[in-house]
Amino acid sequence: MFCFQCQETAKGFGCTLKGVCGKNATTARTMDLLLFVVRGISVVANQLRQHSLPVEKDVDNFIVDALFCTITNANFDNESIMKRIDKGWEIRDALKHQASAQNIPLPEADELNWKGSHNDYDAKAATVGILREKNEDLRSLKELIIYGLKGMAAYLEHAMRLGHNDESIHRFMQNTIAQITTKSLSADELTVLALKTGEIGVRTMALLDKANTSSYGNPEITRVNIGTGTRPGILISGHDLHDLEELLEQTKDSGVDVYTHGEMLPAHYYPAFKKYTHFAGNYGNAWWKQREEFTSFNGPILFTTNCIVPPLPNATYKERMFTTNSTGYPGCKHITADEKGHKDYTEIIETAKQCAAPTEIEHGEIIGGFAHNQVLQLADKVVEAVKNGAIRKFIVMAGCDGRMRSRDYYTTFAEMLPKDTVILTAGCAKYRYNKLGLGDINGIPRVLDAGQCNDSYSLAVIALKLKEVFGLHDINELPIVYNIAWYEQKAVIVLLALLSLGIKEIHLGPTLPAFLSPDVTKVLVDNFGISGIGTVESDMKKFGLMN
């Protein structure tokens, strides 16, 4: 196996024996084969579209799900990946049949022709992974684009589940994958394609924002309880609000409470979910603390998306773990939707009824709900605070949290920030500083949480609005510094999206991606001023934040 798609990759180089995330070598290779299938399907689908022929919705759905399930920590269930591969061959061959019936010529590519039995999969997979591209810079750019597309697929899937779709995004994804598969693109051409991926990433996040806000209202300032009640609970983690809605509906008279974990916390900010009195609060912290926190939660856990941490062999909660959508874990019950898209959570609810109430690990409240609509309602107050010097700078500290000790940097950084600065956050990175009690500036909290990682879109909307209000020509003239933490591939699409919006001088940590070759890193440094992080003190000085 070889995988270097996430920040925690082994030795900052690549996982070769087993993933630091817990993914084993066989599953890593099976995922490589699934991506091979995705490439074949994309080539044929793209070719049909180029000839103005229709492509079935199933193709779009398959590609989105397949990309999503290969994201870090989403799916550890080899069997479910194998099933996707088998279905993929059928889709590819049906598309080929369609092409041949219409005399559409197809390019030469192994991805279009190979087929073998399950016994052949592992050997084939070993030849079609990341290292198939021998040129380090081309490999770096191709993987940068593919990881961006994986993040895009995740956000698109959430929007689609709420009935919002955009054919142009699917077309872009499949066309991009087809180009990477069949064309000999130069480094310059791939760089352009990476930026284009960011541009479509903005479109995808805007689509998801519309899907979420038109379904559940605009997030608003909300105090979220972090303590526990006395009734048994169900913990829902991940990012999918549609799953949450169905779970809340089905649990409302059950005597069971629903708590959020990790990235599901921002669900509390949406008006539509406030009517559920049993939507009890947020339990715990970011994804990587789940081994301890799921143990003390005592009740069942539903994973709607990544990040799953493989439970230890003696974990008491494994029988209480349920997965859905693109996620999977061997031995855990997977909940699928019926043909109308409806999921039945009876088994989770019945499991919860047999469990003790959650053990309280924290007490109090956290505040959030500062997505674009809410912040723009406060715009006068914010602009006034900037003009009169009460707010000197905004620090965008969005992105992901992770296990590495080096991420303590973000807590220290937040603690050391001067009192006239405001943190704008989104994603699970917030757990490094959202319970520090950093206070407020004239009633504006010093940590403004816009929501999930996809709500980084909100931060871009806020920045663009401020640029307009202050009459600036360039978004980079705003008093905003970007100190972003990344972990997995959704952060890659967020980064590409910010670059496509012209945002420069982004600091990315705790380490730069291993998949960026020295030459590609140089392009990003020269053109966008991207850099890593240093020590808290040196970065404070660099950002002009030392008092």
Residues that bind ligand SF4 (CB under 6 A): 3-6, 8-9, 15, 19-21, 23, 28, 72
Place of tokens 């100190």: 483
In the complex with ligand FSO, the residue whose CB is nearer, 129 or 402, is: 402
In the complex with ligand SF4, the residue whose CB is nearer, 76 or 394, is: 76
**Closest C-alpha to 158, from 235, 270, 244:** 244
Give whole-number Cα distances, 380 to 76, 221, 446, 485, in Å.
Answer: 48, 16, 17, 30
**Which among ligand FSO, ligand SF4, none contacts residue 452 (Cβ within 5 to 8 A by kind)?**
ligand FSO
Distance CA(236)–CA(258), nearest Å, equals 7
In the complex with ligand SF4, the residue whose CB is nearer, 28 or 460, is: 28
Distance CA(278)–CA(255), nearest Å, equals 8
Helix (H) or strand (E) segment spanning residue 79: helix 78-101
Q: Is the peptide bond before 510 cis (omega within 30 degrees of 0)?
A: yes
Starting at the edge strand that comes first in sequence, how are the strands of the sheet with 321-324 ordered? 279-282, 257-260, 233-237, 301-303, 321-324, 333-335
In the complex with ligand SF4, the residue whose CB is nearer, 149 or 375, is: 149
In the complex with ligand FSO, the residue whose CB is nearer, 111 or 293, is: 293
In the complex with ligand SF4, the residue whose CB is nearer, 24 or 296, is: 24
Beta strands in 194-288 (DSSP E): 222-225, 233-237, 257-260, 279-282
Distance CA(152)–CA(474), nearest Å, equals 26
Residue 105, C-beta contacts closer than 8 angstroms, at least 6 positions apart: 47
**Which among ligand FSO, ligand SF4, none contacts residue 427 (Cβ within 5 to 8 A by kind)?**
ligand FSO
CB of 435 to ligand SF4, least distance (A): 27
Q: Does residue 235 touch ligand FSO according to CB under 6 A?
A: no
Q: Does residue 400 touch ligand FSO according to CB under 6 A?
A: yes
CB of 23 to ligand SF4, least distance (A): 5
**Which among ligand FSO, ligand SF4, none contacts residue 280 (Cβ within 5 to 8 A by kind)?**
none
Give whole-number Cα distances, 129 to 35, 62, 111, 139, 444, in Å.
Answer: 8, 20, 12, 11, 49
Q: What is the DSSP-derived secondary structure letter of residue 504?
A: -
CB of 28 to ligand SF4, least distance (A): 6
Q: Does residue 543 touch ligand FSO according to CB under 6 A?
A: no
Residue 276, C-beta contacts closer than 8 angstroms, at least 6 positions apart: 248, 252, 258
Q: Does residue 427 touch ligand FSO according to CB under 6 A?
A: yes
Q: Does residue 459 touch ligand FSO according to CB under 6 A?
A: no
Q: Does residue 174 touch ligand FSO according to CB under 6 A?
A: no
In the complex with ligand FSO, the residue whose CB is nearer, 181 or 489, is: 489
**Closest C-alpha to 72, from 513, 524, 521, 516:** 513
Binder among 7, 46, 182, 306 for ligand FSO (CB under 6 A): 306
CB of 378 to ligand SF4, least distance (A): 38
**Which among ligand FSO, ligand SF4, none contacts residue 453 (Cβ within 5 to 8 A by kind)?**
ligand FSO
CB of 207 to ligand FSO, least distance (A): 17
Provide the mask over 240-279, with x wherever binding to ligand FSO is found by CB under 6 A and - wherever it is not.
----------------------xx----------------
**Which among ligand FSO, ligand SF4, none contacts residue 306 (Cβ within 5 to 8 A by kind)?**
ligand FSO
